[in-house]
Amino acid sequence: MYTNDILWKSILEDTFEDFLEFFFPNSHALFDLSKGFQYLDKELEQLFPADDCTPEVRFVDKLVKVYLLDGKEEWILVHVEVQGYADKTFAERMFTYYYRIWDNYRRRITAFAILTDENNAFRPAKFEQDFLGTRLTFEFNAFKVLDHSEENLLKSPNPFAQIILVVKSAMRRKTLEKEDLLSLKIALARRLLAMQIPKKKIGKLMKFLKLYMRFNDKSLDRIFERDISTITKKPHNAMGIDELYLQIRQQEAREDGRDEGRNERNIEFVKNLLRETSFNNEKIARLAGVSAELVQQIKSESSL
């Protein structure tokens, strides 16, 4: 099963331009969006090896190189707290990320913390130290999902606003009956399918919705799939949205070209298929646009 951190890692890349427009309404006057973005996961991994993180700490980090209209390159750190609990070390951790990046790369960054917890009192936005005349204050952008009304999110045409709406709706899981949660999820799906955005992006948003708002009830999953199949006027089958998503990823692989970035994405895609499906090596190879030998190699190396 997908975990929320995997979902966030994927959706941030899929909608990063929308992310910028959501937080910077004047983004088109700041960024040269035609140059795209570069995701610096390797740089983060070098600074923060997996061994440094304790198992109970769950968060997602994306370090992204963006291009400004004046030709400069800047970095954006996006830190998503997906565990949903009050962490006393959160602000300090944000500062640690900042100074390690600065110390190693001398790059200015703007840092975002997206807080998906339900603790209204947990609002980290800065890290401070003060000792014998020496003072440090590190402030960062903090976005509390809990603060934003569903009404305003529904009014927004921005796809990233719909991601926040899904997260906020998922918070109601504890207070809603299963049938009401199903109705809410179907309503969100109908809204996504009606949005005037590229079909590829709709597929990605639908995947996020389906897996982030989980029922843990196969009968409700079947009802959801059946309803979406009716909406899209496509024959219902066992895969449903999953098949649509896989087809989209296959199309993207063909369009991206044979560069290093594509190879990395294909490898990650293969790993996800090995984890989340029972497809054989040949079908995974066909969907990911790689050889069956490579699939077997990844499977052996990853113990999947």
Is 247 part of any domain?
Answer: no
Assess whether pLDDT exceeds 70 at residue 235.
no
DSSP state of 25: T
- Determine the 3-state secondary structure of 78 from DSSP: strand
DSSP state of 35: G
- State whether 261 and 211 are in the same domain: no
Is 293 part of any domain?
Answer: yes
**Is residue 262 very low, low, confident or very high in pLDDT (cuts 50, 70, 90)?**
low
Is 208 part of any domain?
Answer: yes
Assess whether pLDDT exceeds 70 at residue 207.
yes
Position 237 scores a pLDDT of 44
Residue pair 79/60 in contact (Cβ under 8 Å)? The answer is yes
Question: Which one is predicted more confidently, 7 or 23?
Answer: 23
Assess whether pLDDT exceeds 60 at residue 218.
yes
Position 17 scores a pLDDT of 93
Give me the phi and psi of 138, to 5 degrees please: -115, 115
Q: Tens of pLDDT along 264-293?
A: 777 877 887 888 777 788 778 777 777 777
Task: Tell me which H or E stretch contains 144.
Answer: strand 141-144
Q: 70-84, 161-175, 207-221, 245-259: which has the highest mean pLDDT? A: 161-175
- State whether 71 and 109 are in the same domain: yes
**Residue percentage of the chain with pLDDT more than 70:** 82
Of 114, 147, 180, the position where a domain reaches its end is: 147
- State whether 229 and 267 are in the same domain: no
Is 251 part of any domain?
Answer: no
Domain containing 138 equals 1-147
- State whether 139 and 24 are in the same domain: yes
- State whether 178 and 122 are in the same domain: no
C-alpha–C-alpha distance, residues 21 and 28, integer Å:
8
Of 189, 206, 236, the position where a domain reaches its end is: 236
Of 87, 116, 147, the position where a domain reaches its end is: 147
Is 58 part of any domain?
Answer: yes
Place of tokens 């190699």: 297
| pTM of the complete model | 0.70
DSSP state of 38: E
Q: Which two tokens stand for residue 138?
A: 């590190």
- State whether 209 and 116 are in the same domain: no
Q: Is the dihedral of CA 43, 48, 50, 51 positive or negative?
A: positive
- State whether 5 and 47 are in the same domain: yes
- State whether 141 and 171 are in the same domain: no
Number of structural domains (the chain) is: 3
Q: What's the longest Cα–Cα distance across the chain?
A: 71
Q: How many residues does the chain have?
A: 304
- State whether 178 and 121 are in the same domain: no
Q: Are strands 109-115 and 141-144 parallel, antiparallel or unpaired?
A: parallel
Q: 38-52, 122-136, 236-250, 253-267: which has the highest mean pLDDT? A: 122-136
Strand order across the beta sheet in which 38-39 lies: 38-39, 59-67, 73-81, 109-115, 141-144
- State whether 220 and 299 are in the same domain: no
Question: Which one is predicted more confidently, 40 or 289?
Answer: 40
Amino acid sitting at position 166: V
Is 243 part of any domain?
Answer: no
**Residue percentage of the chain with pLDDT more than 90:** 16
Assess whether pLDDT exceeds 90 at residue 133.
yes
Task: Tell me which H or E stretch contains 143.
Answer: strand 141-144
Is 112 part of any domain?
Answer: yes
Question: Which one is predicted more confidently, 126 or 82?
Answer: 126
- State whether 138 and 188 are in the same domain: no
